[in-house]
Amino acid sequence: METITDIQKRIQAGERILNIAKEYEAKARADTRNIFREVFNDIEIQALAAEELIKNGKATAMTGVPIAIKDNILFEGHEAGASSKILEGYTASYDSTVVSKLRTAGAIIIGRTNMDEFAMGSSTENSAYGVTKNPIDETRVPGGSSGGSAAAVAAGLAVVSLGSDTGGSIRQPAAFCGVVGMLPTYGSVSRHGLMAMGSSLDVIGPFAHSIEDARTVYEIIKGKDAYDSTSIIIEPSGKSLKKLAVPKGIFAAGGVDTEVQQNFESILEKLKGEGYTIEEIDLPHFKNALAVYYVLMPAEVSSNLARFDGVRYGSRVGEGTIKDFYGDTRGALFGKEVRRRILLGTYVLSHGYYDAYYNKAIAVRTLIMQELRNAFSSYDAIITPTTPTPAFTIGEKANDPIAMYLSDLFTVPANIAHIPGISIPSGATSAGLPLGVQLLGEQGSESQLFAIGEEIERNR
């Protein structure tokens, strides 16, 4: 598997970007695991533009690097569908800010990757175009919702990729596929041109083979953007106390695989060997984050997806008045999970339930935010396994929504608290399935997380 540095070396050795790009295009086209929704037709044109950058002395670290993007990120003139039937045939009218930055940097965007429909799911089984198979074990899911982007990197079909993370949709598939996956601080990366799911939760971030590559992509895509008023300039933060915290009782609730726990403990031992102090910390509301998430996220989904009504984008089903075809279009073209979350969101926002659910969830969210912020006054980072289990088999949880939701147990708190997180490969089960550990830091502590992550990379 090649890293960004490997690609740079090939280019420096005189190899044409065109050849590298064509090589990746051929590999992506030959894939049989349903990783890509589409491999783009203009890879050659992009490669020639990247060669021009080099000729003009304007090359960056990403120039000539093949990258894949999740199917909910807009690339002008290319189809984008969030793996949903309701957007079939939709072509982006403009570039998302992340794509625009990557193109300026000379990256080669080779295709768009499969995902759970509108990023709702943890396995890609909710894609309207079929599940993606995990490249490590094809009987298993790659995780989700950014499963295609994780698998593309794991299979070596792209050097790096972009996903979006609303409750774990980058970190969970990264752990399932054995790659690095990063959730940047909320607002640090522009979401202009990302199809919105939960606007108070969504963040775009990278998948990579190494922390170094994840950092390279993050440095290029981050920054305040006039087109996204929720974007911010990140004030770098983070301490070097060499102290990490483990939330007390995370294994007590059950449901955590024994091998996950053993692997996690072995990583903690290795970090102690590197001079880290590791302490248990009382975070009484950490465990409530998932319940808060399943109130706030559907509420935001029901609002954000109101725009898909058969009028402005994609296809229309049915005739008659708008009242008729709105319902017919949305009922026929949204998948089961999307419909479930829209109805749930409508419920928690409806008269009579708003205070009990939505407002209560907002209040508990505030409590979780405060609790986590307090924790970072005494610790560099919080460390947990990324997921309670390794990748599960295709179909295993497809008919049990709550079992599926629980795979995001450890990842959701970061989105609730607007803090950054990163999943780092930490080894494998006896059956060879990848495992990951997750680091969570205070807002703006990306550099700190990268540094601790590199210690884990060296010692796993």
Cβ within 8 Å of residue 419, ≥6 positions away: 185, 186, 372, 440, 441, 442, 443, 445
Among 70, 78, 191, 330, interactor with other proteins by CB under 8 A: 330
Other C-beta atoms closer than 10 Å to the C-beta of 355 total 9
| By CB under 8 A, residue 253 contacts other proteins | no
Out of 70, 101, 133, 397, the active site residue is 70
- Where in 396-425 is the site for other proteins (CB under 8 A)? 401-402, 405
- Where does 68-189 have alpha helices with state H? 97-104, 147-154, 171-177
Q: Which is nearer to other proteins, 27 or 316 (CB)?
A: 316
Closest CB 23 distance from other proteins, rounded Å: 33
CA angle, residues 232, 236, 239, in degrees to nearest 5: 145
The residue type of 372 is L
Asked whether the CA dihedral 404, 410, 415, 421 is positive or negative, the reply is negative
Closest CB 170 distance from other proteins, rounded Å: 23
Cis peptide bond N-terminal to 378, omega within 30? no
Among 56, 93, 240, 430, interactor with other proteins by CB under 8 A: 93
Q: Give the DSSP letter of residue 313.
A: S
Q: Which x/- pattern over 197-236 shows residues binding other proteins (rule: CB under 8 A)?
A: ---x-------------------------x--xx------
Closest CB 316 distance from other proteins, rounded Å: 4
How many residues sit close enough to other proteins to count as binding (CB under 8 A)?
61
Among 56, 321, 377, 430, interactor with other proteins by CB under 8 A: 321
3-state secondary structure of 268: helix
- DSSP class per residue in 418-441: T--EEEEEEEE-TT--EEEEEEE-
Out of 84, 123, 146, 169, the active site residue is 169
Closest CB 284 distance from other proteins, rounded Å: 9
Closest CB 370 distance from other proteins, rounded Å: 7
Q: Is 145 annotated in the active site?
A: yes
The secondary structure of the chain in percent helix, strand, coil, rounded to multiples of 5, reads 40, 15, 45
Q: How far, in whole angstroms, is CA 219 from its chain's centroid? A: 17
Q: Is 70 annotated in the active site?
A: yes
Closest CB 46 distance from other proteins, rounded Å: 21
| By CB under 8 A, residue 316 contacts other proteins | yes
Cβ within 8 Å of residue 308, ≥6 positions away: 84, 86, 87, 314, 329, 330, 333, 334
Q: Which is nearer to other proteins, 338 or 456 (CB)?
A: 338
Closest CB 326 distance from other proteins, rounded Å: 4
Q: Which x/- pattern over 343-382 shows residues binding other proteins (rule: CB under 8 A)?
A: xx-xx--x-----xx-xxxxxxxxx-xx--x---------
Closest CB 140 distance from other proteins, rounded Å: 24
The residue type of 247 is P
Residue 118 gets the label, from left (phi > 0), alpha (psi -120 to 50) or beta, of left
Q: Which is nearer to other proteins, 331 or 432 (CB)?
A: 331
Q: Is 210 annotated in the active site?
A: no
Q: Which is nearer to other proteins, 193 or 205 (CB)?
A: 193
Out of 83, 100, 127, 145, the active site residue is 145
The residue type of 390 is P
Q: Please tell me the distance from the alpha carbon of residue 232 to that of residue 432, in angstroms, as a whole number.
A: 40
Among 291, 396, 427, 451, interactor with other proteins by CB under 8 A: 291
Query: Any long-range contacts for 323-326 (C-beta under 8 Å, 24+ apart)?
Result: none
Q: Which of the ranges 32-40, 55-63, 90-98, 137-145 carries the binding residues for other proteins, by CB under 8 A? A: 90-98
Q: Please tell me the distance from the alpha carbon of residue 74 to that of residue 298, in angstroms, as a whole number.
A: 23
Q: Please tell me the distance from the alpha carbon of residue 293 to that of residue 361, in angstroms, as a whole number.
A: 8
| By CB under 8 A, residue 286 contacts other proteins | no
So which residues are the catalytic ones? 70, 145, 169
Would you tell me which residues interact with other proteins (CB under 8 A)?
A: 90-91, 93-94, 200, 226, 229-230, 285, 288, 291-292, 294-295, 302, 306, 309-316, 320-323, 325-328, 330-332, 334, 339-340, 342-344, 346-347, 350, 356-357, 359-367, 369-370, 373, 401-402, 405
